[in-house]
Amino acid sequence: MRPIVPGGGLRTYAGSVTATLTPDPTELSEATSSDSALRRFLHGLPGVDQVGAEARAAMLGTRSIKTTSKELALELAIRMVDLTTLEGQDTPGKVRALCSKAMRPDPTDPSCPPTAAVCVYPDMVGVAKEALGGSGVHVASVATAFPSGRAALDIKLADTRDAVEAGADEIDMVIDRGAFLAGRYLQVYEEIVAVREACAREDGHGAHLKVIFETGELQTFDNIRRISWLAMMAGAHFIKTSTGKVQPAATMPGTLVMLEAVRDFREATGRMVGVKPAGGIRSAKEAIKYLVMVNEVAGTDWLDPDWFRFGASTLLNDLLMQRMKMRTGRYSGPDYVTMD
């Protein structure tokens, strides 16, 4: 087997934090042939310049988005929200309330678009599915022993199948961080592949797979880049920052590294992968900063609910209040949105 030398496709992009790698498809398929090949490939990815990534993310956060652009950004951000409730205290009633909110976020304004999806635990998928009906709002379900991912593979797969059978349109799986940090990359890879197979349905409309990295536990940006490539090579439809149960959750620089990865992966393979930052994004202002970053790092193709999502619960209220401010000219308050 010929060794994979990163650098064959070394390029720099305007606005890229680091030189990026675009291996050819054969390199990618060979990389997953064995644990050592995968390790060689992932460790051969160029390192992330941490200071550069943070500075670039901070700089992108200073863009001024006003008036009509702001209106468009707010609408788009609402359509990108995966309205989430992942609590031990979730009841069918609460999930139904959340579903009505997802379909009509602002009951006083019929022109307000629905959110992309609601995100719940597997046992609530049926309830959510029934409440959402044919509204077009997707049901996303976390699976694979969320949030820690500490269970045997067959239990994780059963968890996934359970959610898929109940009608989930999207599965948010967690990776085995322990295996990843211990360097057992192939195990992580094979687990993602297996879960992806469990997402399939006989009618061909399988559930989309989002892979949660829990970047707050991965320690370094290099690891975020490695796991991004690993998950995309394993067939993830979306890569997602965090569970929301660990601090820090989504950060701008971490998401920046993931956006660079999906951009480079499309360059290398032609396949497009979505990105979902989740947890910690609470204000409309932050959401707009993320959209600016998506636009400038990954490109306009990703400015679509099919390719970029926000995993959030409180964010939606702030988006709605900002939207009301844009429409009425007066500041709104928490009395005018629903409490979740």
Partner 1 sequence: MSRVDVRKTYKLAIGGQFPRSESGRTYEVTDAGGKFLANASRASRKDARDAVVAARKAFGGWAGKTPYNRGQVLYRVAEVLEGRRAQFAEEVMRSEGGTRRQAEAVVDASVDRLVWYAGWADKVAQVVGGTNPVAAPYFDFSVPEPTGVVAVLAPQDSSLLGLVSVVAPVVVTGNTCVVATSQLRPLPAITFSEVLATSDVPGGVVNVLTGPLADTAPTLASHMDVNAIDLTGAGTDEDATAWETAAADNLKRVRRPAAEDWLAEPGLDRMTWLLETKTVWHPIGI
In whole angstroms, give the CA distance from residue 250 to residue 252. 7
The number of beta carbons lying within 10 Å of the beta carbon of residue 152 is 9
In whole angstroms, give the CA distance from residue 241 to residue 277. 5
Considering beta carbons, is residue 107 or 183 the nearer one to partner 1? 107
49 carries an active-site annotation: no
240 carries an active-site annotation: yes
Considering beta carbons, is residue 251 or 322 the nearer one to partner 1? 322
Considering beta carbons, is residue 3 or 329 the nearer one to partner 1? 329
Strand partners, 43: none
**Nearest distance from residue 243's CB to partner 1, in Å?**
27
Which of 129, 210, 240, 289 is labelled catalytic? 240
Which of 129, 210, 276, 289 is labelled catalytic? 276
**Exposed/middle/buried for 79, CB within 10 Å: 0-12, 13-18, 19+?**
middle
**Any idea of the CA torsion for 250, 253, 256, 257, to the nearest 10 degrees?**
-100
In whole angstroms, give the CA distance from residue 158 to residue 123. 12
Considering beta carbons, is residue 136 or 334 the nearer one to partner 1? 334
Own/partner long-range contacts of 130-135 (Cβ < 8 Å, ≥24 apart)? 131/95, 131/96, 131/99, 131/100, 132/99, 132/102, 132/103, 135/103
Site string for partner 1, 55-94 (x = CB under 8 A): ----------------------------------------
Which of 82, 172, 176, 264 is labelled catalytic? 172
Pick out residues in 279-338 that bind partner 1 (CB under 8 A).
Answer: 329-336
Six-digit token string for 110: 């019929």
276 carries an active-site annotation: yes
Considering beta carbons, is residue 3 or 333 the nearer one to partner 1? 333
57, 17 Cβ separation under 8 angstroms: no
Q: How many helices (H) and strands (E) does the chain have?
A: 13, 8
In whole angstroms, give the CA distance from residue 89 to residue 95. 11
**Nearest distance from residue 277's CB to partner 1, in Å?**
24
**Nearest distance from residue 337's CB to partner 1, in Å?**
11
Single-letter amino acid, residue 22:
T
**Nearest distance from residue 334's CB to partner 1, in Å?**
7
**Nearest distance from residue 329's CB to partner 1, in Å?**
7
The number of beta carbons lying within 10 Å of the beta carbon of residue 63 is 14
**Nearest distance from residue 333's CB to partner 1, in Å?**
3
Considering beta carbons, is residue 205 or 330 the nearer one to partner 1? 330
**Nearest distance from residue 321's CB to partner 1, in Å?**
9
**CB contact burial 306-331 (16+ within 10 A = b; e otherwise):** ebbbbbbbebbbbbbbbbbeeeeeee
127, 96 Cβ separation under 8 angstroms: yes
Considering beta carbons, is residue 261 or 281 the nearer one to partner 1? 281
- Catalytic residue list: 172, 240, 276
Positions touching partner 1 (CB under 8 A) are 329-336
